[in-house]
Structure 1
Amino acid sequence: MTTLDDPGRLLAVWEAAATAPPAARGPVLLHAAGLLPDLDAALDLPVGTVAALAARLSVDSFGDPVDAVLTCGCGEVLDVALPLEPVAGLPAGVTGTVAGGALRVRAPTARDLLAAGRSGDPLGTLLARCVRDAADRPVAPAELTADQRRAVDAAAEELAGAAAVVLRTRCPGCGETVVAALDVAELLCERVAGRAPAVLAEVATLAAAYGWAEADILGLPAGRRRAYLALAARRAV
């Protein structure tokens, strides 16, 4: 089981999150955590697979549920206890057929999302990359009928799994239903960012007190690191 209990690994994920493009954040974070050793292969995983793995890493590292904040259109701020364990267990599809088998839909990957982001027509780019006909030939988005587009959209949402989870809760202020998409990778980034400052502070304290290098401090077992921190605090009094 891979977790972020190791402070060096947590800081590696924190640093990777600062530079990763949003479309590739999930695979980049999982690679930095050591969960996916090959980044190129990680970028080609279905987005649902990546989201489920990120949810599992979040649960195993920080616990469950996670406290989330939603804002209603009326301005009410809602605190929500969000369980990620069910999200981590959602299956992710790879391909599906629609329109009586005439079209094959592939779950998008981070590499597909990156290509769409660089395009002037993101949706058209995704369709061109992820939809093929029965003979395995690319399908031009303009050639799809309205019914085929709806069928493709429905299949893509089903294949997305954990990457297509939507939160729904009722606002106590106005009574309306608040709906928000769940970005598991972004949520993992926030949890890592909440823990990283404490680790950095420990490194800074021990480095100042004893002149140790960061790698040596991060390599200390947690109990021994806490003991040295206590000693440093007594020395500073």
Structure 2
Amino acid sequence: MTTLDDPGRLLAVWEAAAAAPPAARGPVLLHAAGLLPDLDAALDLPVGTVAALAARLSVDSFGDPVDAVLTCGCGEVLDVALPLDPVAGLPAGDAGAVAGGTLRVRAPTARDLLAAGRSGDPLGTLLARCVRDADGRPVAPGELTADQRRAVDTAAEELAGAAAVVLRTRCPGCGDGVVATLDVAELLWERVVRRAPAVLAEVAALAAAYGWAEADILALPAGRRRVYLALATGRAA
């Protein structure tokens, strides 16, 4: 089981993902954590697969559920506990035939999202990259009929898996329903971002107190590091 319990690995993940564009952050996180050994291959995984793996890494490293904050249209702020363990088990399809078998749709990857982000027509770029005709040739988005576009949209939702999880709750203030798309990789990143500064603060305190190198501090077992930190700061372990 791969986790981010090791502080050295956590900092490596934090540093690598901080430099990654948002569309690629999930694969970069999983690669830096050691869950996916090949970054190029990780960038070519379906987004649903990446999301499911990110959910599993989040649960195994930080526990479940994760605390999230949503804001209703009325201004009410909602604290929500999101269980990610079920998300980690969601299947993610790779490709499927639609529109009477004349089109084939595959799930987008991080590489597709990066290409779409650089394009002046993001949706058209995704369609051109992810939809093929019966002969395997790219389909020009403008040539798709309304029925084909609807079939492609439906197939894309089914293939997205954990990347298309939607949270639905009700606002206790106004009673309206609140709907939010769950970005699992971003939730994992937020948990990493919250933890990394605490690890760096521990390293700084121990380095200042004992003159130890960062690598030596990070190599200490967690229990021993806590005791040394308590001695250095005068607080009980």
For the aligned pair, the TM-score class normalised by the smaller chain equals over 0.9
Cα deviation, residue 70, structure 1: 0.4
Q: Helix, strand or coil: the match of 1:92?
A: coil
Cα distance in 1 for partners of 2:235, 2:199 equals 20
Q: What residue number does 1:54 align with?
A: 54
Spell out, residue by residue over 1:180-211, the C-alpha distance to the aligned partner (whole angstroms, 9 max, x if none): 11011110111111111211111001111111
Q: Helix, strand or coil: the match of 2:180?
A: strand
Q: Helix, strand or coil: the match of 1:167?
A: strand
Spell out, residue by residue over 1:58-86, the C-alpha distance to the aligned partner (whole angstroms, 9 max, x if none): 00001111111100000000011110011
CA RMSD of aligned residues (A): 1.6
Q: TM-score, normalised by structure 1?
A: 0.97
Residue 96 (str. 1) matches residue 96 (str. 2): yes
Q: Helix, strand or coil: the match of 1:235?
A: coil
Q: Please give the residue correspondences for 1:192-207 in structure 2 after superposition, counting only pairs within 5 Å.
A: 192-207=192-207
Cα distance in 1 for partners of 2:234, 2:155 equals 62
Cα distance in 1 for partners of 2:25, 2:192 equals 13
Q: Helix, strand or coil: the match of 1:236?
A: coil
Cα distance in 2 for partners of 1:131, 1:162 equals 20
Cα distance in 2 for partners of 1:235, 1:151 equals 62
Cα deviation, residue 15, structure 1: 1.5
Spell out, residue by residue over 1:122-181, the C-alpha distance to the aligned partner (whole angstroms, 9 max, x if none): 000000000001111111001100000000001001100000001110111111110111
Cα deviation, residue 236, structure 1: 13
Q: Give structure 1 stretches of 5+ with no counterpart.
A: none
Cα deviation, residue 213, structure 1: 1.1
Q: TM-score, normalised by structure 2?
A: 0.97
Q: What residue number does 1:147 align with?
A: 147
Say if 1:235 and 1:176 are closer, same or farther in 2 by CA, change over 3 A. closer
Confirm or deny: 8 A CA contact 2:230 2:236 kept in the other structure. Answer: no
Cα distance in 2 for partners of 1:30, 1:117 equals 21
Q: Give structure 2 stretches of 5+ with no counterpart.
A: none
Identity, in percent, stands at 91
Cα distance in 2 for partners of 1:166, 1:206 equals 43
Q: Helix, strand or coil: the match of 2:234?
A: helix
Cα deviation, residue 231, structure 1: 2.6
